Amino acid sequence: MATVKRERGNIFEVPINDELHGYAITLAHPLYGFYDLGTKDDLTCAEIVSRPIAFKIFVMDNAPKKGNWKKIGWIDPGAEIDNHVVFFRQDLHTGKLTGYDKGKEWPISYEEALKLETAAVWSANHIADRLRDHFAGQPNKWVESMKPKPTMN
pLDDT digits (tens, 9 = 90+) for 5-60: 789 999 999 999 999 999 999 999 999 999 999 999 999 999 999 999 999 999 99
Domain limits of the chain?
10-82+119-145
pLDDT in tens, 79-116: 888 888 999 999 999 999 999 998 999 999 999 999 99
Residue 3: per-residue pLDDT:
58
What's the sign of the alpha-carbon dihedral 103, 116, 129, 20?
negative
Cβ proximity of 64 and 4 under 8 Å:
yes
Phi, psi of 126 (to 5 degrees): -70, -35
Contact call for residues 15 and 2 (beta carbons, < 8 A): no
| Residues facing 49 on adjacent strands | none
Residues paired with 139 in a beta bridge? none
CB 31 within 8 A of CB 6: no
- When pLDDT is cut at 50, 70 and 90, the band that residue 126 belongs to is very high
Confidence of residue 152 (pLDDT cuts 50, 70, 90): low
Contact assessment for residue 11 and residue 73, using Cβ atoms and an 8 Å cutoff: yes
Predicted pLDDT at 85: 94
Q: What is the C-alpha separation between 2 and 4, in angstroms, rounded?
A: 6
Q: Give the type of residue at 51.
A: R
Confidence (pTM): 0.93
* Cβ neighbour number for residue 124 with a 10 Å cutoff: 19
Residues in a beta bridge with 14: 22
